[in-house]
Amino acid sequence: MKVDSATLTQIIDKCFDLSMNLQLQLPDRQNFLALGKRLRGSLLNLISAQFNAGTPQVINANNQIATVSGQVAAVAQNLQNIAQTAQSLATLASTLDGLLTIAASFV
Amino acid sequence: MNWAAKGSISITLPVLLSVSLAGCVTANFTEPVTSFRDSVNKSGAVVSTYYTELNQFEREVYLDDALYSAKQIGTTDAGGQPTPLAGKALSPESIKARTDAIALLGAFAQRLGELAGSEAPKQFSEGASALGENLFSLNKTFEKLGQDSATQKAVDKTAKDYAGPIGAIVGALGKMYLENRRDAALQEAINNGAPPVRAVLSLLQQDLATSIEPLQETGLKQELAERVNAYNTSLTAQPLPSFDQRRAALNDVGAAAARYDAAITANPADLIQNMRQAFEALLTYANSSRAPTDLAQLVTALQTFKNNVDEVATQVNRLLLLRKGQKT
């Protein structure tokens, strides 16, 4: 099984878009840029990673990706819950970093 | 002219008509196969570029981030993982596996092109013309046996008239036979190749859509976002950057936006999808009755494929130039 790279890509894309959205304050924009870059680093490391079927950490990570995707989309939509979403993004990045050590193979 | 000769004319006309029609259909099959081969080869070169350039691209994104964030760089990060500076975003074995798969598609298309363009029928036709000349000579020999001179002259005259057509009919029939054999061989080759070709195309399309395209688009958007943020942040500094400094920074932002636009336009996964559709159209035609409407559908699919390949190739070349800082 693999990490949900398609949804993760959408999250990264929205982070960069928010970093260029003048409706946000500059510090928030800088924060979304930093988070987008960090998640992209995770994407690069995980995009070719294969995991054993049913690996709980990957299932958990993919669930987190789905949740955070909704949060980021909501921020892009109504510019609310910015701080909470940023925290969720940081937590996701940490979760993804932890997956590298348990990958079965890289193709 | 004797009645035997007249009878021969009435028999040969339908044969000639059916021969010429069969020849037209088979010749039309050759051109689509050649077009498919050429578009597959061009696609292969474009798609291979994405894989062979990936590690260099990631290195550029990494160094770009270090420049704008004033970060330290290394081949191993703080977590012990190799960085893109090490150039191992995709291993050499992974790249080779993918470029080998692309080369396999090209080899299959190449073989189809060689089979479709076989010269054997043409050579047979030329040999058959010589056979026609020999038939005339043989006929002349017969006429020397027990014929009076007046009849001999009449038969000689008509025999000469028929040598050419006889040779052409023999040649055309032989050509039709060989072209039908070639046609059947093409149909068999396309049908046999269908399962593995579909499998390779599916793998490539998925790989490009889930790995290559996301990395390229997010990488180029990151570079754009870096520059936008750097410019906006600089406007908070005291003193404000000079007019020339701001212009240089904004030119840089514009260039990054152009690179991102080029990446969005050049969609390699869609290119593989077009290749798949062109192959399925070829497969459908190979197994069809080869009616003009069947051929028209195939030609449309192949033209769409060719147009898409040309467009993507142009955008990929443009993107490579933009990444080198060259104007397009």
Q: How confident is the model at residue B2 (pLDDT cuts 50, 70, 90)?
A: very low
For the entire predicted model, the pTM comes to 0.76
Nearest to A19 among B211, B217, B229 (CB): B229
What's the whole-number mean pLDDT along residues A46-61?
Answer: 89
Q: Please answer yes or no on whether B218 and A16 come within 8 Å at the CB atom.
A: yes
Among A54-58, B232-236, B279-283, B291-295, top mean pLDDT goes to: B232-236
* Nearest-by-Cβ selection for A33 from B210, B218, B229: B229
Number of A to B CB contacts under 8 A, please give it: 64
- Inter-chain touch B217–A9, beta carbons under 8 Å: yes
| B212 DSSP 8-state letter | I
Q: What angle do CA B169, B124, B35 make, to 5 degrees?
A: 105
Interchain contact, A36 vs B214, CB within 8 Å? no
pLDDT in tens, B149-183: 666 555 555 555 655 665 666 666 666 666 777 77
* Mean predicted confidence (pLDDT) in B289-318: 87
Average pLDDT estimate for A18-40: 96
Above 70 in pLDDT, residue B272? yes
The H or E element that residue A98 is part of is helix A82-99
What does the pLDDT look like over B189-246, one tens digit per residue? 888 888 888 888 888 888 888 888 999 999 999 999 999 999 999 999 999 999 999 9
- Which single residue is written with the structure tokens 């005259």? B157
Q: What is the mean pLDDT of residues A54-59?
A: 92
pLDDT at B148 over 70: no
SS3 (DSSP) at A106: strand
Please state the rounded mean pLDDT for residues B19-43: 70
Task: Report H helices in chain B.
Answer: 3-69, 92-116, 120-143, 149-207, 213-234, 243-265, 268-286, 292-323
Averaged pLDDT score across all residues of chain B: 77
Q: What is the pLDDT of residues B120-134, one digit of tens each?
A: 545 545 555 555 555
- Residue B189 is predicted with a pLDDT of 81
The CA angle A86-A87-A89, to the nearest 5 degrees, is 65
Region B255-277 average pLDDT: 89
CA B275, CA B105: separation in Å to the nearest integer? 10
Q: Among A2, A3, A15, A1, which residue's Cα sits nearest to residue A69?
A: A15
Residues on chain A touching B84 (C-beta within 8 angstroms): 44
